[in-house]
């Protein structure tokens, strides 16, 4: 699985802690981790929690990533922004139990975590335990097991409901504030990671055209 890490500006200084915890767990399990930043509070490209959601939508809908790990001070803003995007199903995860239940019941493709609220001593151990519950083993098996089928059915209904209520991602990209979009993809390693992994030529072409316009300007 390709896992993308996205860190919001107010918590950018913690990116290395989060990234280290994620790679410590995910890579030995055979997953790839792509750190889309922010890498420090001094980065030229600054990501708000709104941009986190937009970037998550781009990565998941293009299949450049299979799963997104993001967050902000409370985790709420990034979760809301992610869930505003087509095809993104993001849960607020605070502890390993949240991670386990989200993985087994909701089987979404993104989580948002609080990186300020409650982020204290041994926080990196909580992060590792969360990621272990998410990425070690099969998800979507249901909990409790006897409700697995109804949970699977409800996930399908929710997916259909979101498809009916949202535009496709390319339409979103064309209609969203273009300066906001340019800022969301301005990260130091976005182009390196995204274009090598994207499976959607139309999304890739549109974002390349935006980047070209910025260079010409």
**pTM surpassing 0.75?**
yes
Report residue 117 as tokens: 């609220």
Tell the CATH topology of 2-216. Answer: Ribose 5-phosphate Isomerase B; Chain: A, (3.40.1400)
Note the pLDDT of residue 192.
98
Residue 141, φ and ψ in degrees, nearest 5: -85, -10
| Cβ partners under 8 Å of residue 78, min gap 6 | 6, 8, 49, 52, 53, 70, 71, 72, 90, 112
**pLDDT tens per residue across all 217 residues of the chain:** 999 999 999 999 999 999 999 999 999 999 999 999 999 999 999 999 999 999 999 999 999 999 999 999 999 999 999 999 999 999 999 999 999 999 999 999 999 999 999 999 999 999 999 999 999 999 999 999 999 999 999 999 999 999 999 999 999 999 999 999 999 999 999 999 999 999 999 999 999 999 877 655 5
């Amino acid at each position: 699985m390709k896992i993308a890490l996205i860190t919001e500006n107010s918590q950018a200084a913690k990116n290395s802690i989060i990234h280290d915890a994620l790679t410590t767990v995910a890579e030995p399990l055979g997953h790839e981790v792509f750190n889309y930043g922010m890498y420090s509070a001094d980065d030229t490209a600054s990501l708000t929690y709104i941009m986190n959601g937009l970037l998550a939508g781009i990565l998941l809908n293009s299949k450049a990533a299979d799963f997104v790990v993001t967050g902000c001070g409370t985790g709420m803003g990034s979760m809301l922004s992610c869930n505003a995007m087509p095809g993104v199903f993001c849960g607020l995860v605070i502890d390993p139990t949240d991670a386990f239940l989200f993985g087994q019941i909701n089987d979404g493709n993104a989580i948002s975590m609080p990186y300020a609220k409650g982020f204290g001593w041994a926080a990196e151990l909580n992060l590792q335990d969360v990621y272990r519950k998410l990425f070690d083993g099969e998800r979507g098996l249901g909990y409790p097991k006897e409700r697995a089928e109804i949970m699977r059915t409800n996930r399908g209904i929710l997916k259909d409901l979101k498809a009916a209520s949202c535009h496709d991602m390319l339409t979103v990209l064309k209609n969203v504030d273009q300066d906001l979009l340019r800022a969301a993809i301005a990260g130091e390693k976005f182009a390196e990671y995204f274009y090598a992994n994207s499976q959607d030529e139309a999304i890739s072409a549109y974002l390349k055209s935006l980047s070209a316009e910025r260079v010409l300007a």
